Copies of this chain bind each other. A is one copy, B any other.
Amino acid sequence: MEIEFIRALRNRLPPSPHLAIGPGDDAAVLREDGAVVTCDMLCEGTHFSLENDAPAAVGRKAMAVNLSDLAAMAARPVAAFLAVALPRHRVEVADQLLEGMLPLAEQFNVAVAGGDTNVWDGPLVVSVTLIGRCPDQPLLRSGAQAGDHLLVTGSFGGSQSGHQFEFTPRIEEAIYLQNRHQLHAGIDCSDGLSLDSSRLGEESGCGVVIDLDAIPISAAAKKMSDTTKTPLARALGDGEDFELILAVPPTEAETLISTQPLETKLTRIGTFIDRPGLWQAGDPPKPLAASGYEHGA
């Protein structure tokens, strides 16, 4: 129900001439100046636990997930605005949040421009709004065409064992590819490879066929001792891999796969087709359930 609820809310937002790209992509784009804006809130108990996760890791992640949204737009970050609700008995976490956040901000040349600091009787909430700018055209979710290949950076699955807090957002990779290669569409993998791939298809009016054997599965997913999920299931549905999922025209895709211009590996894991839906490659293709974390945008 949650995803429908969020869609219903989003449908209540009236269209505006101020927006070149409105709600529904990884970030909004303002028409007047091309500013690319995204906003992600992390809530204690839902996105992290202060019992298990260091506040510095939470602070880093609050910045990193927003950076990953800008990567999905091929945008370069400029400034971040931080709003926090601090538990009254643990206000010192604010310092630790910054300890994790500021080095990542520095690495990506982001100004942390303040925001709003509140102390309350509830759990910790960290909200970051990040503003960036696209050196080229923004990379959208909606440009994929039937025949495009589905390419991904890095590997998938098992992000809970550490990657979710330690990943480096694919800002540089996305900007490099958008600048030198022809990409049709892109999204970052936050909720699950299968779910986010299906979103890319849906927003583009296409279907997606995934070759399960081609999916690069992370070492973490293979190593995880909890055997209720296979490594493949983890790769398809764990989410928080924060890799790029791209729709690339066939010739361009072949160039990228053969030349491997990034430090991280690019892998072709499927194709876009006319028929809507998510499919598992085979003869004939079989429907594939999209698994992942359906919290909405």
**Which A residues form the contact surface with B (CB < 8 A)?**
2, 5-6, 9-10, 12-14, 16-19, 22-24, 28, 30, 32-33, 35, 37-41, 43-47, 78-79, 81-85, 91, 94-95, 98, 102, 106, 109-123, 125, 127, 129, 131, 133, 295-297
Besides the known contacts A116-B297, A127-B127, 12 further A-B residue pairs in the complex with CB atoms under 8 A apart:
A5-B117, A18-B110, A30-B111, A39-B115, A46-B119, A46-B121, A47-B118, A114-B297, A117-B295, A117-B296, A120-B123, A125-B127
Report how far A110 CA is from B18 CA in the complex, Å. 8
Report how far A156 CA is from B142 CA in the complex, Å. 51
Number of copies: 2
Verify B121–A45 contact, CB threshold 8 A. yes
- On chain B, the residues within 8 Å of A5 by CB distance are 91, 94, 117
Verify B113–A19 contact, CB threshold 8 A. yes
- On chain B, the residues within 8 Å of A85 by CB distance are 41, 43, 46, 125
| CB of A55 to closest CB in B, whole Å | 13
A-B contact list, 10 entries, CB within 8 Å: A6-B117, A16-B113, A18-B79, A23-B114, A39-B114, A41-B125, A47-B118, A85-B125, A118-B295, A119-B295
Report how far A121 CA is from B117 CA in the complex, Å. 21
Verify A122–B19 contact, CB threshold 8 A. no
Report how far A136 CA is from B112 CA in the complex, Å. 25
- On chain B, the residues within 8 Å of A114 by CB distance are 10, 13, 22-24, 28, 39, 297
- On chain B, the residues within 8 Å of A10 by CB distance are 114
**When A79-B16, A85-B125, A133-B32 are in contact, do A116 and B41 touch as well, CB less than 8 Å?**
yes
**When A5-B91, A14-B106 are in contact, do A32 and B113 touch as well, CB less than 8 Å?**
no
- On chain B, the residues within 8 Å of A12 by CB distance are 95, 98, 102
- On chain B, the residues within 8 Å of A91 by CB distance are 5
- On chain B, the residues within 8 Å of A22 by CB distance are 111, 113-114
Name the residue on B nearest A91 (C-beta): B5
Verify A117–B9 contact, CB threshold 8 A. yes
Report how far A23 CA is from B81 CA in the complex, Å. 10
Report how far A129 CA is from B28 CA in the complex, Å. 13
Report how far A211 CA is from B105 CA in the complex, Å. 46
Report how far A131 CA is from B19 CA in the complex, Å. 12
| Across the A-B interface, the 9 shortest Cβ-Cβ residue pairs | A23-B114, A16-B111, A129-B129, A18-B111, A28-B113, A41-B83, A39-B115, A39-B81, A127-B127
